Amino acid sequence: MKKTLISLSAALLLLSSTQAISYADTVQDPNQNVYVNVDVLDTVSAIDLTYVLDKALKDSHNLALLTLKYAAQGSKKADLESQMDTMGSASFTPGHLPSTVAEVTNTGNPLLPNLTDPIDIAWTVTQNNVMNQMMQGMGALAGGMNTIISAQRAQMKTAAHQLGTDQRNSLLQTDEAKAGIRLQTIAQYVQLLGQKKQLDFMNDYAAVMEKDLLRATLFAQQGLASSDDVQTVQKAINKQKDDIATLLNNYRLGLVQLSTDIGISYDPNLVIKDIETILLDPITETDTTTLLKSSYQMKSSGNNMDEAVWETGHTVTQNTYGDTYLGVNLAINGQKNEQTKLELTKKIQTTYHDAKNAYQAVLTEQRNVTDIQADLAKMKFRYDVGVLSKHDLNKFQLKVQQNETTLTAAKLKYYVLKEKAKAMDTGFIQ
């Protein structure tokens, strides 16, 4: 019976706890504010790369935040410098009152008459000793306050100088962000364009496969093909439809993301225009040292090293531990600078390697297209003389279209990597 009561109590406790948790999850905090603005989106029927790049840079929240960050750093720096200018010093004029019998009986000061009464002498000596001690304490207090004020002024000077360095880095980050947004937007646009062209080809291929199915069905009815042949074509059609559905979903997701990034209304039928001119040129390499010197990251690292050097010569420390910290901090920034240089060097080599491979891939696909177009001319001749059926000619033309789509994809990939390589000359290394 006792165990039953304990079990019942535990169950009731668990039930009450569960209800409390559920209640807590549903109650809304009346002081909780949520700020969700309703964006005003542009409605367009077609976009090109120039339009997308312009919108991406104008509507970038990251750039807006960096601008605000730069302004905040400048405001704080000016505030610190203003405080330093208005920060005064504690002052105290030292003095001494006669505090011995000899001094009070022979002051040598007409304003302090010589005392002769023993009681006055004793009282004055005692009183003046107390006053002298108080003045010494006030002098020491003023000196201590000046030491503290001097240390605070030095700290504020260091903080203001650091903010100046941070501002310089913020400007570099802003330029770097612009270059990064441009490359990211180009990659987004190119991916969508490539997916759209792939979808067009896959839909055309699906239409031809439907004709193959009809042909196989008719042959089977005439006893010229088996039911297995029909099922094989049907399975291929089903797989093609699945692949189209997957690619279409990916395309629409990318379109939603791009539309959100550039502030336009999502339209599943939005026209993605071709990139007007993709010049196929060999990739020319710039000297690695030159690229590193122009790199935003190396410039920012240099600013941090300069700041560490300045702090070593201008920071007021109380002991050798503080001096050691400044030296270690300088060494850390030096190591970070070296690490950044090595990482960027690897990225430069990788970018040029990938761009060269992309260029070679375009040349290969161009040759393949040229070869298959020559074969198509032969196929057309065979069709004209009645050796080849219209259906087989259409299937071969689809193969030509497939090679042309592959060439387009190779060109788009080359274009992105070429832009990435060009961005390194302006300081952006990714």
Give residue 141's pLDDT.
67
For the segment 52-106, what is each residue's pLDDT rounded down to a tens digit? 999 998 878 788 888 888 888 888 888 887 877 776 565 656 667 777 777 767 7
| Structural domain total, the chain | 1
Contact call for residues 409 and 197 (beta carbons, < 8 A): yes
Residue 325 lies in a domain: yes
Number of alpha carbons in the 13 Å side-chain half-sphere of residue 361: 18
Read off the pLDDT of each residue in 207-221 and give the average, rounded to a whole number.
Answer: 87
Nearest to 379 by CA among 370, 369, 388: 388
Residue 409 lies in a domain: yes
**What's this model's pTM, rounded to 2 decimal places?**
0.77
Q: Which domain holds residue 315?
A: 277-430
For the segment 130-157, what is each residue's pLDDT rounded down to a tens digit? 777 777 777 666 666 666 666 677 777 8
Give residue 289's pLDDT.
95
For the segment 274-319, what is each residue's pLDDT rounded down to a tens digit? 998 888 999 999 999 999 999 999 999 999 998 888 888 777 665 5
Contact call for residues 104 and 121 (beta carbons, < 8 A): yes
- Which H/E stretch holds residue 82? helix 61-86
Confidence of residue 383 (pLDDT cuts 50, 70, 90): confident
Residue 239 lies in a domain: no
C-alpha 132: how far from chain center = 65
Distance of alpha carbon 162 from alpha carbon 308, whole angstroms:
9
Confidence of residue 16 (pLDDT cuts 50, 70, 90): low
For the segment 18-47, what is each residue's pLDDT rounded down to a tens digit? 555 444 555 677 888 887 777 778 889 999
Read off the pLDDT of each residue in 318-324 and give the average, rounded to a whole number.
Answer: 62
- 192 Cβ contact partners less than 8 Å away, ≥ 6 residues apart: 251, 254, 255, 258, 272
Residue 401 lies in a domain: yes
Give residue 177's pLDDT.
92
Residue 237 lies in a domain: no
Residue 368 lies in a domain: yes
Contact call for residues 57 and 175 (beta carbons, < 8 A): no
Distance of alpha carbon 391 from alpha carbon 216, whole angstroms:
12
Contact call for residues 283 and 421 (beta carbons, < 8 A): yes
Contact call for residues 90 and 142 (beta carbons, < 8 A): yes
Residue 102 lies in a domain: no
- Which H/E stretch holds residue 271? strand 271-272
- 198: number of Cβ within 10 Å: 19
Q: Running DSSP on this structure, what letter comes out for residue 318?
A: S
Least confident of 87-91, 225-229, 393-397: 87-91
Least confident of 40-49, 56-65, 174-183, 227-236: 56-65
C-alpha 64: how far from chain center = 13
Distance of alpha carbon 405 from alpha carbon 372, whole angstroms:
13
Distance of alpha carbon 97 from alpha carbon 329, whole angstroms:
52
Say if strands 271-272 and 46-47 run parallel, antiparallel, or are unpaired.
parallel
Residue 18 lies in a domain: no
